[in-house]
Amino acid sequence: MYPIDTRANRIQFDFCGEPISFDFNKNLVPAEPVLSTETSVKAFYRNLNGADYDVVINALQAYKEKFKPNDWLFYQLIRKTAQQISPKTDDYHRYTLYKWYFLSRTGYDALLAVSGDYILFYIHCEENTYNIPNRVVNGKQYVCLNYHDYGNNIDFQKNRFSVVELVVPDAKNSFSYKITHLPEFRSTDYKVKELRFNYNDNEYQYKVKLNNQIQTLFINYPVVDYSLYLNIPLSRETYYSLIPLLKKSVKGLSVKNGVDYLMRFTRYAFLFEPDTQVFGSEKRLSPEQTLLYDQSDCEDRVALFYCLVKEIYNLPMIVLSYPKHVTIAVQFNKPVGKPIIYNGNKYTVCEPTPQKEDLLVGQLLPELKKTPFEVMYVYNPQKN
């Protein structure tokens, strides 16, 4: 099946500012097309010699041990590694099988399901995801990692998928979408974006350092629970180009007026655009993504405002979800306006999304005053 030539090729590429390199014999990659059938997938796996791929696995594990990336970021490294060995455009099925193989070899519980020309790649994950397929196998939930490659559009009624039975020793770990830290990107990878807004008849300007690699890393990140996406941190360069300056701007203001400043910064420094217009579907942007994109919607503004209040004042907050709107409320020592009472605590609404009227701290959109809402996330500094 494989050519006789066993000369190794030097594989080198950059991942988030870190050089990745290893010697790998590309002649080991099967030349014939990989079909999306159970027989073809099993044959692909059966013909892999694990020892031939130890150099790849060792390079992946070395990165993981040194930088301790969260699972989502480690998977982005695996995607890039598979692309170097078997480019997506050469043979999509083969590229997908390599991603599955590398993820499984590095200890994750992953599986493949096939139907017609489709091959779907799932990972064991017990968290909630809202815009990608999931399936339960042997009592465990698996979520799909490559649905976007099919335009997020497969008719599961017409296409009945069957799981391919493959056994990879020690592939037992579950996957998490939680992000606790971002890579240490090179400072040269950042560009400066000017953000302007007016507050009390004064114009304020911030030159924020942003990295387009954040867009690439999170472009296929699914819709997850608020607790996960709200708490995706800012990268180091972005943090230090913005947070200290905002702290300086609110220095001397009361807490209420400082939060008002942050609310208006979040509200007016960006254009509003629904996710369906920008991305074609619902997408929740992390705080740094909201800074990166020129347009953002209410959920994105909530994430950024939450991040700023948390970093600068670390106040308790709740996220409020209405049928067609998401907003946020902050707990002050003394509430402003008519408070939202939740679990005995009084929270003040702070609307971070631009509206027809200039809402003050403590003012809720008039059309929402009698509308039922759901508290989607509670931030308590003492407990989180």
Q: Which of 110-119, 187-196, 277-286, 365-374 has the lowest mean pLDDT?
A: 277-286
Q: Which of 36, 43, 28, 35 is nearest to 166 (CA)?
A: 43
pLDDT tens readout for residues 2-36: 344 456 789 999 999 999 999 999 899 988 888 88
CB 174 within 8 A of CB 124: yes
CATH, domain range 187-379: 3.10.620
Arithmetic mean of pLDDT, 66-90: 97
- DSSP-assigned states of every residue in 90-150: T-HHHHHHHHHHHHHHTTB-EEEEEETTEEEEEEE--S-BSSS-EEEETTEEEEES-GGGG
pLDDT tens readout for residues 157-170: 999 999 999 999 99
Does residue 104 carry a pLDDT above 90? yes
pLDDT tens readout for residues 261-295: 999 999 988 764 554 544 444 567 899 999 998 87
Rounded to whole angstroms, how far apart are CA atoms 265 and 361? 13
Domain range summary for the chain, segments of one domain joined by +: 9-163, 187-379
